[in-house]
Chain A
Amino acid sequence: MTTVIMRTTARAIVPIILVVSISLYFEGHNLPGGGFIGGVLTVTAFAIIYMAFGLDFLERGVLGRDVDPGKEHSRDRVVVAYRRLFAYGFAIAVASGLGPLLFGEPFLTQAFVMLEGVPVYDHLEVASALAFDFGVYCVVVGGLLTILSVVGAE
């Protein structure tokens, strides 16, 4: 699949997909979207990179690291980073749920504030659910990419 057409297309569409996925995550609270969908879309972008450039591309081409060909793929630093990502994501989700306990509210209670007079936006809504959703996003991206890269290496 590493054809020229594929690579050229990937160069164009991957940034677009990533931007869309991030915007999906941010506007999820008010429009269709959210952490899960944003996460899956991000994974799609990475899958296209894998497809167009091969599994070692991220490690060698983007991060400029040497890849030891004899090493198990699951030990690659990128894969380790994915694993960390979903672990941290889970921790963020749990921690965002523990926060309300400090205020005497039940586990996972969410709240939101409206900020008025913010430059550019004028008024901005900040929901605590965004932190939880960020956890969801991280778990989905980290988890699926771990699976994808490890299974893809087989």
Chain B
Amino acid sequence: MSPDLAIVVAAVALPFIAAALTPLFFRVLGEGTGFAGSLVALSSFGLLASQYGDEGTVALEWIPSLDIALRFHVDGWALLFALLACGIGTLIFTYSPAYMHGESGLVRFYAALLAFMGSIVGVALAADLIAIFLFWELTSLCSFVLIGHYTADDSSQYAARMAMLITVGGGLFLLVGLLLLSIVAGDVVGPASAFDLAAMLEQPDAMAAALRDRGLFLPVLGLLAIGAGTKSAQVPLHFWLPNAMAAPTPVSAFLHSATMVKVGVYFIGRIRPMLVGPEWLFLFATLGLTTMTVCAIMAVASTDIKELLAYSTASHLGLMVAGFGFTSVYGAETGVFHLLNHALFKAALFLVAGIVAHEAGTREIDKLGGLRRDLPVTAAITAVVALSMAGIPPFNGFYSKELLFEAAVEASHHHDIGLLGWLYPAVAVFGSIFTVLYSLKFLSLFFGDRPDDLGHVHRPPVTLLIPPAVLALLAAVVSVDPELAVDAIVQSGLEATAVDPHEMHVDIPTSYSPAVGMSAVTIGVGILAFPAYGRLHDGIRAIPRAVPPIGANWWYDTIVDGLSDEGRAFAEYVHNGLLRTYATWTLAATCTLALAGFVAAGAIAPTEFGLEVTLAIGLVLLVAVIGGLAVVVSESHIAGVLTLSILGFMVAIFYILASAPDLALTQLVVETLVLVIFLLVIEEIPESYEVEVGRSVRDAVLSVAVGATAFVTVLVTTSARPDGPTDIARYYAEQAVPEGGGTNIVNVTLVDFRGFDTLGELAVVALASISILTLIVMRGRGDGYETDARGDDATPGEESPADDSRSDEPTGTRSDSPASGGGDE
């Protein structure tokens, strides 16, 4: 059955509408706004759940002229991710009011959180490349607001900027990849659905073949992998994710467990059937396993409970990416199943971390311990989800990790990858050992002795406890009966991501297999090594301190700081407040780029100069040239202005001779106005300037360059013009009288055919007036206010600012070319 357009669109739009209405909610509900959010999330969840079992694409017209639509594809994989986002969103909104009690900026917080959820649901369902990119970047923007929630806190701002820079930067790679994909798709599925991902995924083999034919397979794969990798915090761009823990805990729980960081994994799963192959295996299995191991080791080195969870998230994302990287069906099973399992246990763990931080007042691992006596329910919840994270049987994390081991072992059966066939399983086991270690460490916060300096630990309110309890309960249900989850959603998710899906079965293993052996080694070594946790922790922490460049964060800081410094230095050079500097750089850059463009395009070809000029035009242009020369050599300003007018009027006459009376009229009128304005201000301009030789040489060179560029541009563009009037010109000429009712084609074009352009130009004139007015009025005020600060040259006292500037020496008229004034309006 195909899904219902109205319901799907409503599910995506609801959070955005609610986000816009948040200020209203807040006025009515105050801090209870979170519960309204729960209701919204629950409604979206319900709407999506009503589409359960459906599969198909629905589209809403968006930009029909470009064949871009708001296209939504509903299948098991999309529903799994969207339902997770809405479901966990509901719990997060329930959790937030108690956690964020008494904090400021709650309107922004809830609005951003709602928009964030909407964007995630949008990414999950979108089947149009442009829509995917739009929602993708929206998640980055919303997360920027959420991570930077504590606007006064520097570390929060730093983390928000970092997350933004990395994920939006990655998004740009994704955009290029998507555009390349659409170019190829235009040939395979037809130009009308060039952006339709759902149509491409219906013919994955044809798409892959077409990509290979064009030689675009590797570029597309690489670009999409960078996009997905940055979003899902893969090594070496994983470091934004641990920093993102600067966000309030509900955000971390949402962002790190169910939503944004999984968008990359989700997308990898989505395009998997199309691009899967040996390159895919090599790229994603290596990337994922490296991330998994590196981040698991970093998690062991963490000192803060949220940092530990953040690194562990990155590590588990690596696990999912590696799962999808393996080309066998086990790989897809790993990815889909672990996405579900991880969301359940990691969201609960973050919420638990929030409770601990909220009630115990610290997040330092060293200062916490023995919390089970104070927080018994929380301890029970933690036991379920932490053991699940560790992958201890029979908890749910075990099943998906077991699938990873199987996929790693199977990898060498499907493709000839040589030594990697041994390396992949070995690294998977090695990384998993650290997973067991840090999971046990997190669990140990609730056991053992209570540190003496840990103060009184409050009981958490019920609304803080229910959300993690619900998640733990779900995790427990999946643990006891994994087939339930498989039947409900994982199987249908598998069918969308695997090339050769079959009936999926997971159970506690009863006989020996390589994967069982690997699990046994992982758990055994993990538990045996746990007593040495402290030494491992110190050892790992010592490495980046000894060799800073080993940390990715170090590279980020170095590069960003370096770029900022360079940028500042460059800005001081180019941006020094003198009009002539701006003019020089702008003109020089424009000329260079334009000429370089012509050269690169091979447009400058030896052109024949046909002298089609009549005697009259020749004479007029000659006078104009003489006028131009006279401007340069004129001694006084008055002579200069008058001779400049000769030039302008000659151009007007040229227009008349070239049968453009309207243009000529405009030129005449504007020229007159400019002349009058010049005469008005000429008394204020100093008699003459002292101009250095170097500067006049520079100006001369620049003028020649600008002239040459203009000349070449006209030459190139006119030589490319077809003979006679173009279609557009003919259309306007023919339609002016019947359609516009005017015989003046220029005017009819301006007001009838291209009225919107004219309106835009009006806005420009209006804006120019307003900005000049503002500049002058504000300058006057600035003088008044700065009187105290500057002291020495400003007139002291309460004299009016305007008088002040009038009596002052006209410092503002020092610019060396007052020519460009009103003429260009």
Tell me the A residues contacting B by CB distance below 8 Å. 1, 24, 28-37, 40-41, 43-44, 47-48, 50-51, 70-74, 83, 86-87, 89-90, 93-94, 97, 107-108, 110, 112, 114, 125, 127, 129, 132-133, 135-136, 139-140, 142-144, 146-148, 150-154
Q: A51 CA to B680 CA in the complex, in Å? A: 6
Interface size of B in residues (CB-CB distance below 8 Å): 51
> How many Å from the CB of B774 to the closest CB on chain A?
10
Q: Which residues of A are found within 8 Å of B744, using beta-carbon distances?
A: 28-34
A134 CB to nearest B CB, Å: 10
Contacts of B812 in A (CB 8 A): 154
Bound: A140/B822 CA distance, A: 12
Neighbouring A residues of B679 by C-beta, 8 Å: 1, 51
B665 CB contacts on chain A under 8 angstroms:
24, 32-33, 37
Give the A-binding residues of B (Cβ under 8 A): 661-662, 664-666, 669-670, 672-673, 676-677, 679-681, 683, 740-744, 746-748, 750-752, 755-756, 758-759, 762-763, 765-766, 768-769, 772-773, 776-777, 780, 800-803, 805-806, 810, 812, 822, 825
Q: A1-B680, A33-B747 are in contact. Are A43 and B673 (CB under 8 A)?
A: yes
Interface of B is mostly: helix
Assess the B756–A108 pair: CB atoms within 8 A.
yes
Given contacts A31-B744, A34-B750, 7 further A-B pairs with CB under 8 A are A29-B743, A90-B766, A93-B762, A140-B765, A148-B822, A150-B772, A151-B776
> Chain B residues with Cβ under 8 A from A139's Cβ?
762, 765-766
CB distance from A19 to the nearest CB of B (A): 15
From B662, B748, B759, B777, give the contact of A108 (CB < 8 A).
Answer: B759
Closest A residue to B810 using CB positions: A154
Assuming the contacts A37-B666, A136-B758, asked whether A47 and B676 have C-beta atoms less than 8 A apart, the reply is: yes
Q: Count CB-based A-B contacts (< 8 Å).
A: 169
Q: A95 CA to B351 CA in the complex, in Å?
A: 55
Chain A interface, DSSP helix/strand/loop, else mixed: helix
Q: Which residues of A lie under 8 Å from residue B822 when comparing CB positions?
A: 144, 147-148
Judge whether B748 and A146 touch: CB under 8 Å. Answer: no
Return chain B residues, CB-CB under 8 Å to A90. Answer: 762-763, 766
Docked complex Cα distance between A107 and B758 (Å): 13
Taking CB atoms, residues of chain B closer than 8 Å to A110 are 740, 751-752, 755
Q: Is the CB of A50 within 8 A of B673?
A: no
A146 CB contacts on chain B under 8 angstroms: 769, 772-773
Cα distance, A111 to B618, chains bound together (Å): 42
Q: How far is the CA of A133 from the CA of B744 in the complex (A)?
A: 14
Which residues of A sit under 8 angstroms from B825, Cβ to Cβ? 40, 140, 143-144
Ordered by A's residue number, 21 sampled pairs between the chains whose C-beta atoms are within 8 Å are A32-B744, A33-B744, A34-B746, A41-B672, A44-B672, A72-B801, A73-B802, A86-B769, A90-B762, A93-B758, A112-B741, A129-B742, A129-B751, A133-B751, A136-B751, A139-B765, A140-B825, A143-B769, A144-B825, A147-B768, A147-B769
A44 touches B740 (CB 8 A): no
Contact B768 A70 (CB under 8 A): no
